[in-house]
Amino acid sequence: MSRLTHLDDEGRARMVDVSAKETTLRVARAGASLVCSADTLAAVREGKAPKGSVISTAELAGVMAAKRTSDLIPLCHPLPLTHVEVRIDLDDTLPGFRVIAEARTSGPTGVEMEALTAASVACLTLFDMLKAIDRTMVIGDIRILSKTGGKSGDWTAEQA
């Protein structure tokens, strides 16, 4: 097993030194889902959610969260994000919402945590805005879908 990069030789937590790493374009896509009742999904579709524009608010919350990732996760590097996009689609087969978040930067370290944070906070915002009508919701399937750039190269998750 490889050595954990966030621990020094004495087991103390540290931020990894990325100063010698090559600057490359880095892109990460993350996904998540929120499962809810069919009635909740219908309320959103029909614009009858009690707290208003659920989708656009959650998408904006995800973008804002990506920009704050290093404030939330102790050993993440603060990154100059060049692009963040969060898309939420209604999915009758769940029933619920599918969230896709993409983050980009040019730098020495990846943006996977920013994409994951964006997708997670978008789901949390959906939950917050819909909890008054559905307390049975479940957030899940939070994962990296793909990443590009850096020494490890490109990676795409297998289709589930």
Residues 115 and 66: beta-carbon distance below 8 Å: yes
Output DSSP code: residue 135.
Answer: S
Domain annotation for the chain: domains and CATH numbers: 42-149 (3.30.70.640)
**Cα end-to-end span (Å), the chain:** 27
What are the structure tokens assigned to 55, written together?
């989708």
**Model confidence at 138: pLDDT above 90:** yes
* Whole-structure pTM value: 0.92
pLDDT in tens, 65-90: 999 999 999 999 999 999 999 999 99
Residues noted as catalytic? 128
